[in-house]
Chain A
Amino acid sequence: MRLFSNRRLIFVLLGLLWMELSLLPLFAVGRVQPDFFLIFLAFYAFRVSWKRIVTLSFFVGLLRDLVTNSFFGLETASCVGGAILLRFLALEFDREKRSVQLVSLFAFSWVTLLLFVLFSFLVGERYLFEEGIFVNMFLTVIYTSGFGWLLFPLLEKWLKPALQMRQYELF
């Protein structure tokens, strides 16, 4: 398994898990909370390896399924679905550009949350009928993208040795 080319990535993932489990209420604005895992996955796709992003998303989704109480598999399915889009974006656009990264994070978050709601509707957990769910989702995506804008430079700084060389497909 070469998902984590550097140990620092594991620490970052554990740190994000820890933040997600403990510090998330501190960042919550009403019901809107940022999604640190989505930020990590987007960062991984753009700055570490777009090739392994689907596999990593699968395991991150599985991890989330294990610690949440929603229908088992929803997190994994939505993460993998979103990761396919993320992989496409990372492959097609300039991965060095911060604007591309943030727009991709926005799209990835949006699709992942939509897929989650859609799958949950399919398996009978009718989140679709929850009042204001799309507004809440949209605000969550905005908030997550905002946090991404803050966290991407920090992650890049911490993980500098782990990052790959410049994108070569576009040259």
Chain B
Amino acid sequence: MWFKRPLFLAGAVLFPLLIGATAPRYVDQLRTFTISLSQPFLELQNHFSAFLDRQIQFLAEWPKLRMENEALRAELQRMKTELEASREIKRQVSRLEALLHLKGKISDRSVAARVIGRDPSHWSRFIVINKGSRDGVRKNTVLVHPDGLVGKVVAAGRHSARAILLPDAESRASAMNQRTRDVGLIQGMGSSRLKMTYLDRFSDVQVDDLIISSGLGGIYPKGIPIGTVETVVSEKNHLGLYALVKPFVTFSRLEEVLCVSSQTGG
């Protein structure tokens, strides 16, 4: 029996080699068959392996990606800021062009000013502009906007001035219905609407009529648009009418104004 084991071992070693040497064609077929059997698993393994490779690569690149991401975020933020700044400049140019156009239409001496401050109070409507007496802006200098009348200066410093807006309750301006030529007084109500009072009870004021400055009173130039009539109401004493006027100017968004000085002799 002692020889059985070495023979068995020699057979185990040599038999596959003999097959490999004598029947390579069958070996190839056998291998092809084995591969075809294991192909689905190999594909699955391949996917898994590729997945792991990607994850490892991702992990290896993680610090670099993070830095790159931060740099790109910073760059994006800078670009956004620049884009916003250029948009702002575009809007500003558009507004200034409108002001320039308005300036061309107004024969009086005028100077453009930027709104640099607003009244924080809930009840009054004042603004501060960046032009003062050095630029010819004085008390009662009229402020206009491409959309319409804004208000007037109530106090002027050397480099800035404080102006009252039409919606302020203390504001008064002589106005006229462009269609009927009825004259009245525009006064602020502290809200977004203006009140045109002292209208004749027989006047033909209608909704959507255009209200302009009348030029009476010696402060506001004649013909500057103020707004359109929204409502016509009879006074309580029935002696006259008043109209609620929707101003053309959006006072809360004023950024630039034109200061017109002829009426003040500035």
Chain A contact residues, CB within 8 Å of chain B: 18, 21-23, 25-26, 54, 58, 61-62, 65-67, 69, 71-74, 76-77, 80-81, 84, 119, 123
Contact = CB atoms under 8 A, between A and B. Distances in A.
Contact of A72 (B19, B45, B49, B56): B19
Determine the main DSSP class of A at the interface with B: helix
Interface string B30-71: 110011001001100110110011001000000000000000
Contacts of A22: 42, 45-46, 48-49
Interface in B44-100: 45-46, 48-49, 52-53, 56
B12 A76 contact: yes
Interface of B: 9, 12-21, 24, 27, 30-31, 34-35, 38, 41-42, 45-46, 48-49, 52-53, 56
A49 B92 CA distance: 89
A66 B31 contact: yes
29 contacts: A18-B41, A21-B45, A22-B42, A22-B45, A22-B48, A22-B49, A23-B52, A25-B49, A26-B53, A26-B56, A61-B16, A66-B31, A67-B31, A67-B34, A67-B38, A71-B20, A71-B21, A72-B19, A72-B20, A72-B24, A73-B15, A73-B17, A73-B19, A73-B20, A74-B20, A76-B12, A76-B16, A80-B13, A84-B9
A11 B44 CA distance: 17
Nearest to B48: A22
Nearest to A65: B16
A25 B50 CA distance: 11
B65 to A, nearest CB: 21
A80 B42 contact: no
Nearest to A24: B49
B19 to A, nearest CB: 6
A25 to B, nearest CB: 7
Contact of B20 (A23, A54, A123): A123
A77 to B, nearest CB: 4
Given A72-B27, A80-B13, A21 B42 contact: yes
Contacts of A73: 14-21
Contacts of A25: 49
Given A26-B52, A71-B17, A123-B17, 6 more contacts: A22-B46, A65-B16, A71-B20, A72-B19, A72-B24, A77-B14
A18 to B, nearest CB: 6
Contacts of B30: 66
Contacts of B13: 76-77, 80-81
Given A22-B46, A23-B49, A67-B38, A80 B9 contact: yes
Max chain B C-beta neighbours (<10 A), residue from A22, A54, A119: A22
B147 to A, nearest CB: 71
A25 B53 CA distance: 10
Nearest to B10: A80
A77 B49 contact: no
Nearest to A63: B34
